[in-house]
Chain A
Amino acid sequence: MTKTMRASAMILAASTLALAACGRDAPEDLPPPPPDTTMPTDPTTDPGYGQPAPGSREDFLARVGSDTIYFGLDQHDIDAEDRATLDSQATWLTQYSSVFVTVEGHADERGTREYNLGLGERRANAAKNYLVSRGVDASRITVISYGKERPVALGSDESSWARNRRSVTVVPSSTGF
């Protein structure tokens, strides 16, 4: 059961990554490598020795399509690509039902600070509401808007703006089994 779910999640993740490779941005757009993947494990009981600890942040990043979905200018709708990504997140979150996550909403630098705070919150809630519709308990998801204050792409051009209009599902790094 668990193995099947994991396998399907990995297939989904692989296919979404493939999509990302052709349809999204260049490799530098990928999230930064996890800071520290070494966790105390017992090789005699852990069949996944050498793999991220199940239920950990690193496990999430390795097994979901992406932690990030992207939006159009001033938009907050969830398109088919976003649904595939969020479905993979929902699958993982269903498997690890004790993990609480934060969904961050972000905007590009155009538009005023105040409006973008509202827009980021709207985007984070769009992602949250989709995850809830896929069976994730709403109480496990906290939303936070950073408006345009936390860009990942630093340019002032269309491709940078596109990468900054996003919501990111964040599993706390302290979570793990």
Chain B
Amino acid sequence: MKTGLTRILAMALAAWACLAAAPALAQDEVQPPALEAAPVGDSEEEEIDIVGGTRAATPIAVPDFPTPNPAQTPAGETGALGRQIAEIIANDLRNSGLFDPVDRSLLRSVTMPEVTAPNYDSWAQVGAQALVHGYVQDNGSGLTIGCYLYDVLARSALDRAGYELGYADWRRGAHRCADMIYQRLTGEGAWFDSRIVYVAESGPKDNRTRRIAVMDTDGANHRFLTNGQSIVLTPRYAPDQRTIVYMSYINEEPRVYIYDLASGQQRLLVNSPNMTFAPRYSPDSRYVVFSMAVNGNSDIYRVAVSGGTPQRLTNAPGIDTGASYSPDGRSITFESDRSGSQQIYVMNADGSNPRRISFGGGSYATPVWSPRGDLIAFTSGFNIGVMSPSGGGARILTRDYQAEGPSWAPNGRVIHYFQTPRGTGLPSLWAVDLTGRVRQLRTPLGGSDPSWSPLLPD
């Protein structure tokens, strides 16, 4: 039997496609440098609201997590960590667009006994429908983080979880707690405990410096992997998260390289006199599909991550590129201009039976298969859209100048992309969900070509 809150959220999720933009939220002055709440979308988004009714995001209280025994740890003092963890959780939930965290100035401190016996009335008074409690404890070799979710209206416990993490990974405890809350209240898959690889861009438009960078989904733990001496493009996380495949102009020879995240070493994927580009991994991380340009004709090939002789998958005059596997590994979607304009195709993973799936006006490019398998994201003109793998139900999610390069969240419900302004400005990273709600991702420099990792391993 569902409680009042979960029934409300279940209704909201049943009407996922008609969720409207969340109300604008004041930026919390103690919000960590992370994802930035975007302005409320313009009225164009309302056309997606086909069922009708603007549904407000669920108010949720995330007060600071207390600590049973205050201690200094390599990650910081446990009380301070409890404060930061609550902020990270609230920030994650706010960024989903489905939650409206209660303003921190209205949240009182919580005692340890309250964590398992909440005072529902006091949280109802600040407008919360859902409540998150938890604690932080030093266990000698790392941190133990408890996470408890309550339904304030029904005055009942909904779920709880505990996480043991090394000191360096303490932020993951907050993301995993936020993922538990998100999954329990929306029925959708988790996505906060994941990472992003992208191209950090700086400098003038005719002499850009481009570096591969990685960061947590909320922008924390940012670091550069390459030094900017060579142009680097299109980095993609391996599903096993051990390597990144990307294109580099090292020695002015544009080729696909594999970067090993543990060792920091990079190696050429295919030894060829020709340009190799647009790489992407197979779902099992064993193969890379990529394009190779030979005398003005680009076709799609597949090669083992360890190297070897590539297997040619397409053989048509024109530019075949942007290959992306289906999550079951049986099919590949790609773009080709073989018909005279860029359109999206699907073929079997061995290259057989290619068939065109996009037939709308204009160009369709960079198809990317959702990890759920139900949708293919694409770039059409200057916009990001989605369609079914059979080509039906195409709809545009963004309206801006030159958006491109979609990448799916692990749960297949949010898409990262990049947008380049007119003139000389730097590109920036954005997220859009399937209702068309957009927000900008904060990065230290400009950003392009985001690639979302799967959920991090436990």
Residues of A within 8 A of B (CB): 74, 76, 102, 109-115, 117-119, 121-122, 125-126, 129, 144-147, 149-152, 154-156
Q: Across the interface, do A114 and B322 meet the contact criterion of CB distance under 8 Å?
A: yes
Interface residue ranges of B241-261 to A (CB < 8 Å): 252-254
Cβ–Cβ < 8 Å partners of B208 in chain A: 149
Cβ–Cβ < 8 Å partners of B401 in chain A: 156
Q: Across the interface, do B231 and A149 meet the contact criterion of CB distance under 8 Å?
A: yes
Nearest 8 A/B pairs, CB to CB: A118-B319, A125-B296, A156-B422, A118-B298, A121-B293, A114-B278, A122-B296, A112-B365
Least CB distance, B189 to chain A, in whole angstroms? 28
Q: Across the interface, do B254 and A115 meet the contact criterion of CB distance under 8 Å?
A: no
Q: Across the interface, do B295 and A114 meet the contact criterion of CB distance under 8 Å?
A: no
Cβ–Cβ < 8 Å partners of A149 in chain B: 208, 210, 231, 233
Q: Across the interface, do A145 and B365 meet the contact criterion of CB distance under 8 Å?
A: no
Q: Across the interface, do B254 and A117 meet the contact criterion of CB distance under 8 Å?
A: yes
Least CB distance, B395 to chain A, in whole angstroms? 19
Q: Across the interface, do B404 and A113 meet the contact criterion of CB distance under 8 Å?
A: yes
- Docked CA distance A173–B206 (Å): 20
- Docked CA distance A134–B423 (Å): 39
Q: Across the interface, do A118 and B423 meet the contact criterion of CB distance under 8 Å?
A: no
Interface residues on B, range: 35 or more
CB within 8 A of A112: which of B204, B254, B322, B423?
B322
Known: A109-B420, A114-B234. 11 other contacts (CB 8 A): A109-B402, A111-B363, A112-B404, A112-B405, A113-B234, A114-B366, A115-B365, A117-B233, A118-B291, A125-B295, A156-B423
In the complex, B275 has a CB within 8 A of chain A: yes
Least CB distance, A168 to chain B, in whole angstroms? 13
Interface residue ranges of B134-192 to A (CB < 8 Å): none
Least CB distance, B172 to chain A, in whole angstroms? 31
Q: Across the interface, do B205 and A118 meet the contact criterion of CB distance under 8 Å?
A: no
Cβ–Cβ < 8 Å partners of B423 in chain A: 154-156
* Least CB separation from B293: chain A residue: A121
- Docked CA distance A117–B276 (Å): 10
Q: Across the interface, do A111 and B205 meet the contact criterion of CB distance under 8 Å?
A: no
- Docked CA distance A110–B420 (Å): 10
Cβ–Cβ < 8 Å partners of B379 in chain A: 112
In the complex, B430 has a CB within 8 A of chain A: no
Interface membership of chain B positions 55-96, coded 1 if the CB is closer than 8 angstroms to chain A and 0 otherwise: 000000000000000000000000000000000000000000
Q: Across the interface, do A117 and B275 meet the contact criterion of CB distance under 8 Å?
A: yes
- Docked CA distance A149–B232 (Å): 10
12 A-B pairs with CB atoms under 8 Å apart are: A111-B365, A112-B366, A114-B321, A115-B342, A118-B321, A121-B275, A122-B297, A122-B298, A122-B319, A144-B252, A147-B233, A151-B205
Q: Across the interface, do A150 and B206 meet the contact criterion of CB distance under 8 Å?
A: yes
Q: Across the interface, do A145 and B205 meet the contact criterion of CB distance under 8 Å?
A: no
CB within 8 A of B206: which of A119, A144, A151?
A151
In the complex, B216 has a CB within 8 A of chain A: no
Interface membership of chain B positions 408-438, coded 1 if the CB is closer than 8 angstroms to chain A and 0 otherwise: 0000000000001011100000000000000
In the complex, B335 has a CB within 8 A of chain A: yes
Interface residue ranges of B115-131 to A (CB < 8 Å): none
Q: Across the interface, do B298 and A121 meet the contact criterion of CB distance under 8 Å?
A: yes
In the complex, B277 has a CB within 8 A of chain A: yes
Q: Across the interface, do B275 and A144 meet the contact criterion of CB distance under 8 Å?
A: yes
- Docked CA distance A172–B90 (Å): 56
- Docked CA distance A149–B297 (Å): 20
- Docked CA distance A113–B404 (Å): 8
Cβ–Cβ < 8 Å partners of A111 in chain B: 342, 363, 365
In the complex, B100 has a CB within 8 A of chain A: no
Cβ–Cβ < 8 Å partners of A109 in chain B: 402, 420
Cβ–Cβ < 8 Å partners of B319 in chain A: 115, 118-119, 122
* Least CB separation from A155: chain B residue: B423
Q: Across the interface, do A110 and B291 meet the contact criterion of CB distance under 8 Å?
A: no
* Least CB separation from A157: chain B residue: B422
In the complex, B449 has a CB within 8 A of chain A: yes
Interface residue ranges of B190-221 to A (CB < 8 Å): 204-206, 208, 210
Least CB distance, B197 to chain A, in whole angstroms? 15
Interface residue ranges of B350-396 to A (CB < 8 Å): 363, 365-366, 379, 382
Least CB distance, A118 to chain B, in whole angstroms? 4
Cβ–Cβ < 8 Å partners of B321 in chain A: 114-115, 117-118
- Docked CA distance A102–B233 (Å): 21
Cβ–Cβ < 8 Å partners of A145 in chain B: 254, 275, 293
- Docked CA distance A13–B321 (Å): 39
Given the interface pairs A112-B404, A112-B405, the reply to whether A152 lies near B206 with Cβ below 8 Å is yes
- Docked CA distance A41–B424 (Å): 42
Q: Across the interface, do B365 and A114 meet the contact criterion of CB distance under 8 Å?
A: yes
Least CB distance, B281 to chain A, in whole angstroms? 16
Interface membership of chain B positions 308-322, coded 1 if the CB is closer than 8 angstroms to chain A and 0 otherwise: 000000000001011
* Least CB separation from B421: chain A residue: A156
Cβ–Cβ < 8 Å partners of A115 in chain B: 319, 321-322, 335, 337, 342, 365
- Docked CA distance A125–B296 (Å): 6
* Least CB separation from A117: chain B residue: B277
Least CB distance, A122 to chain B, in whole angstroms? 4
Q: Across the interface, do B293 and A113 meet the contact criterion of CB distance under 8 Å?
A: no
Of B298, B379, B423, B449, chain A has the most CB atoms within 10 Å of the CB of B298
Cβ–Cβ < 8 Å partners of A146 in chain B: 231
Interface membership of chain B positions 284-327, coded 1 if the CB is closer than 8 angstroms to chain A and 0 otherwise: 00000001010111100000000000000000000101100000
